[in-house]
Every structure is written in C-alpha cells, then in structure tokens.
Structure 1
Amino acid sequence: MPTKKATTESDGGFSAAERAAMKERAAELRAEGKKGAKKADGLQAVLDAIAKMGPDDRALAERVHVAVTANAPELSPKTWYGMPAYANADDKVVLFFQDSGKFKYRYSTLGFQDAANLDDGDLWPTSYALQQWTPKVEKQVIALVKAALS
C-alpha cells in the first residue's frame, strides 16, 4: 500500500508568499462589495479549513485548491460540512475535499456532488481516494474538474 508523502513548499505546498497573496485577494474581494465579500469569506474559510489539517492532508488540499481555482475560476470556494468545497453560480457544491483526518480514514477523498456533470449512463464514480499528489494525479483531477463543469 503506498504511503502518503508530505508535500513541502519545494515540492508543491503553498509558500508564505502564496498564502499572503491569497489573503490579499480575499481582502480585495471584500472591498468589491457584498458579492465579493461572500466569495472572500468563502475563500478565507477554505484556507482556514486547510490550515487546520494534518501536514499530509494539508499538502493534498492545497494542491487540490490550486488545481480547482486555476482551472475552474467560475467556482467559488466555500466550506461544506467544514470541508473545502467549490460551488457553482447557483451556490451548489460541485466538488469537495475531505481530509483523511476528518473521520480517521486511511485516505483523503475528492468528491463530486450532483451539480457535477460526471453522469455516464446508469453508474459513475462520484468520489476518488487521494493518497499523494503526483503529476499524473494532477492531470486526472484537472480533467475531472473540467468534466464536472462541461
């Protein structure tokens, strides 16, 4: 069974400068008014939820966050049951990240809700076990996010 590999700044975790830039963006959104403030509050809630995770889960959640926000800017970050999530314009959660520590699972989960367009006949996956971030995993996550919005 593969083990989780902690991600550090040098191999993909958020740097101090990236964290500062995200906090600045949240402040900018708040300054834009009510709609911007809601998005900023959601972003801050997601960043806070990620910061509370154990190191391995936090590293994965950070990479998921980057992949989602870079490839699906139309989704708004928010927390959902205390987990980082990303919602569409109707405020419906499309996808979420559940850290392994939340329920003492052996893996983290990338999950999709019914607002995701992943339907494929009468049976299709809606969640994926996530143990470590690799270039291959990143490509798969990006493809799933894009498919969910198609």
Structure 2
Amino acid sequence: MPSSSSSKDAKNLSRVLDKIAGMDEPRRSVMQHAHDIIMAAAPDLKPRIWYGMPAYAASASTPALVTLRNDERLNLALTEKVTTAPAGGADGTLTPAAWYFDSIDADAEKRIAEIVRSAVS
C-alpha cells in the first residue's frame, strides 16, 4: 500500500499536469516542456499547485521553490525561499529571480535546468 505522502505527491503531480493540460496551445506545449526540464533537472522536487500556478518544492509540506506562471507572458520564477545572491556587474545588488520566455530552445532548456539546480542546491 502506498504511503500517504506518495499518494499526496501523485495527486499533486496530477493537479500540476491537469493545470498545464488546461492551457491553450502553444503555451501548453511550452509549459509541459518547462515542467519536463524541471523534473529532469531536479527529480526530487515535488510538483504541486502554489497560488494557482504549477510549482515545485522539496516536499509536499514545504513552500515552493520554483514556479511556472502563465500570465501575459510565461514565467519561470524562484520564490523567496530559495537562497540567492546578487547578480553583480551591471545589475549590482539586484538578485535575478524571474525569467520570461515564449519558447524553449536548446540554450533556454540548458539555462532553465541550471536555474532549477541552483534553487535546490
């Protein structure tokens, strides 16, 4: 018999996949691709819905670390629960925490994976 946490994880994953499936094309395909990248980059993250968005956390009972947002523009974001550092250079003390995208090419795929891995390390 599956544990209650694995059952909750499966239910949360199903909710995330349903949320993505309910999006209109071409965004649905792009968001599904982003979800797949996130899960491959950090397979221990637990998908769930966080404030109405697909999100990814260390466990079903901890705050989300990464979110996917489908508003006027698609957005990958790190929450305030991720340890971040200022960008330096031209951005000085500003800390990068959100990235907009309309499509995902090989470079974007690599960068999304890097961002997600940095959020969980």
**TM-score class, shorter:** 0.7 to 0.9
Cα shift at 1:52: 0.6
CA-atom RMSD in angstroms = 1.5
**Structure 1 residue 45 and structure 2 residue 15: aligned?**
yes
- TM-score, with length taken from structure 2: 0.87
The answer to whether the aligner puts 1:136 opposite 2:102 as a matched pair is: no
Instruction: Find runs of 4+ consecutive structure 1 residues off by over 4 angstroms.
Output: none
Match of 1:119 among 58, 82, 85: 85
Distance 1:138 1:91 in 2: 26
How many positions carry a matched residue from both structures? 115
- Give aligned-pair identity as a percent: 28
Please, which runs of 5 or more residues in structure 2 have no aligned partner?
88-92
- Structure 1 distance, partners of 2:56, 2:25, is 22
Q: Which residue of 1 aligns with 2:49?
A: 79
Question: 5+ residue gaps in structure 1?
Answer: 1-30
The aligned runs of 1:1-150 (5 Å cut-off) are 31-89=1-59, 91-100=62-71, 105=72, 107-120=73-86, 122-150=93-121
Shift in Å at residue 117 of structure 1?
Answer: 2.7
Structure with bigger strand share is 2
CA distance in 1, matches of 2:55, 2:79: 10
